[in-house]
Structure formats: C-alpha cells, structure tokens
Amino acid sequence: MKLKLGHLFADKLNLYGDMGNVLTLKYRLEKRGYEVEIEQLNDSNFTISNYDFLFIGGGQDKEQQNVAKLLESKKSDLSKFIEDEKPMLAICGGYQLLGESYLTSDKETISGLGILNVITKAKEEKNAKNFQDRLVGNVVAELDFPLHIESSVTTLVGFENHSGRTFITDSRTSTLATVKLGFGNNDTDKKEGARYKNLFASYLHGSLLPKNPHFADEIIYLTLLAKFGKAPELKKIDDVIEIRAHKKALTLH
C-alpha cells in the first residue's frame, strides 16, 4: 500500500529543520508496512489531489510571500483537499501564509491564502506587558483535543521563533494546544497553533513530529482513515528514544 506525501516548496520554506516532520511520517509509516513516496513540490506544476498528506514549512518573510503567490492558483484545490478531511501540517511561515492576512509592522496588509481563519500581526504595541520583539524559546503545551491513538503523553514540545502574532478569527477553527511554557500564537491568549478539520498549523519547530511521536501517529491515523475510509490499526513501534527526548523537553525552560 503506497502513500504519497507532498512537501510544498521544500526549496524555499526549509529554514528550521522542518524536514524532520516529513522524515518522521515516512519512517513511522514504513515501520507499519506502508510504502511511502515523498515528493518535493517546488514549482506550481503539481496536482494537489494526487497526495495523501501535505506539509508546508517555515521560511524567511520574502520567501513566504513568493510562495503565497505561487500557491494562489492552487487555492481551490487546496481548499477541497482540506474540506475532504485530508491531513496537512503547516509550520510557522507556512501557518501564517495559509491564514487570511498578515499585517506588517508598517501597517501594510499582505493577503494570505485564506484557507485557515487566522490573521497574523507583525507585533503587539510596544507598551504591551512583557513586550518582546520576537517570540523565541522552548515551548511546552497541553493538547486541546483527544487523540484517536493510545498515548502515554498528551503534551506537545518544540521551539518557537517568530515575530508574527496569530489570532483565530472564526469559531470553526480551534486551537492545537494550551501553552504551559513559552508563548505560542501570540503574547496574550496562551494558545498554540490552529486546527480546521485535519489541517494542523503550529509555530513549533524542533522538528515538531520527531519528539512528539503521538502527534505524528495521530496524523498518520487520520491520513490512513482519509485514504482507505476505515479506522486503521496502528502497530506499536519502538519509541524509547522519542519519549525520552519528549520528556527531556518537558524539563527545559
């Protein structure tokens, strides 16, 4: 059984080790006997419906805007992909550009793809409490939704590094997790990431999935469910190093 994972604009949005997310999905699917093909989708010459899962990472502001332009022609296909409950993971810059808009520090509004009901603002007012230019550091957050798979941990761990502050604008979009350490989406609401159907968006690097094997498996579960139309049985695999790395990250500050 073969699965196709599409890595969107891997050449332009690949700044913080986000490649690890795709590697993790591949590794964990192969351990369960699936054949996996990763395709890097670096121009506009691809068909979104050919893929079972999509990933988009973070990059520099300039690259993000280029990618948003290149993706514009794929907007309705991508929208259908998400409405069909196929899973997608977007990290940092990828998260921001899937949103409705980005308000720069010069009060200029750059349109996003509008796939996800969030807006991002360059930074909070200078007189805001605990003002910081960029939100940088380790993050520990408790997942806001129950998992389909069995797991001994229910936290997400990672590292954030962003100047944009993101806010959810629509009640159909939920958050990923509640922040225990760090900032997450913005300086104020202690929430991290966004979820609409099976589109997961997060600010966490690290990479995110290697140290959060339960979250990786949840995405795998949803990918198989969307592809084959029935709940998959996920075989347990050796996670000793993954869980130790996760638990170590829980102790960071």
Partner 1 sequence: MKRFLANLTAKSSRFLIEKLKIGSGSAFPGRVALAIDPMFIASYNKSFNSGRFNFFITGTNGKTTSSGILANIIKVATNKSPISNAFGANLYYGIASELVNSTNINCELSSNDFVFEVDEAAFRSVAKDLKPKAVILTNIFRDQLDRFGEINATQKLIESGIKAIGQGKTKIFLNANDEKIAQFEFLLDDNFEKIFYRVDNVEISFKEESLHKNEHHEAMFTASLVKRTVKGSFIKLYFKDESIDVFLPIAGDFNIYNACAAAVAAFHYGISFNDIKAGIESYECAFGRGEKIIYDNKELNIFLIKNPAGCTEVINFVSQFDSSIVLIAINDNYADGRDVSWLWDAQFEKLACKGIKFVCSGSRAYDIALRLKYAGVSIEDIEVKEELIASIKDLVVKSKKDENLFVLPTYTALLEINSSSLKS
Q: How far is the CB of 17 from partner 1 (least distance, A)?
A: 3
* Pick 87 or 213: Cβ nearer partner 1: 213
User: In the complex with partner 1, which residue's Cβ is closer, 198 or 202?
Assistant: 202
Residue 58 beta carbon to partner 1: minimum distance, rounded to whole angstroms: 10
Report the residue number, 20 or 232, with the smaller CB distance to partner 1.
20
The minimum distance between CB 170 and partner 1, in angstroms, equals 30
Q: How far is the CB of 248 from partner 1 (least distance, A)?
A: 5
Pick between residue 73 and residue 251 the one whose CB is nearest to partner 1: 251
- Of 6 and 206, nearer to partner 1 (C-beta) is 206
Decide if 205 is catalytic: yes
Interface residues with partner 1 (CB under 8 A)? Answer: 14-20, 23-24, 27, 60-62, 134, 136-138, 159, 161, 163, 205-207, 210-211, 238, 240-242, 244-245, 248, 252
Q: Between 240-250 and 213-228, two packed helices, what is the crossing angle to 10 degrees?
A: 120
- The three-state (H, E, C) secondary structure of the chain, written as one string: CEEEEEEECCCCCCCCCCHHHHHHHHHHHHHCCCEEEEEEECCCCCCHHHCCEEEECCCCHHHHHHHHHHHHHHHHHHHHHHHCCCCEEEECHHHHHHCCEEECCCCCEEECCCCCCEEEECCCCCCCCCCCCCEEEEEEEEECCCCCCCCCCCEEEEEEEECCEEEECCCCCECCEEEEECCCCCCCCCEECEEECCEEEECCECCHHHHCHHHHHHHHHHHHHHHHCCCCCCCCCCCHHHHHHHHHHHCCC
Please choose, from the candidates 164, 9, 11, the residue with its C-alpha nearest in 3D space to the C-alpha of residue 71.
9
| Residue 214 designated active-site | no
CB of 204 to partner 1, least distance (A): 10
* Catalytic member of 162, 205, 214, 246: 205
Structure tokens at 29: 């699917």
Task: Give the closest residue to 115 by CA, choosing from 93, 94, 102, 98.
Answer: 98
Question: Catalytic residue numbers?
Answer: 92, 205
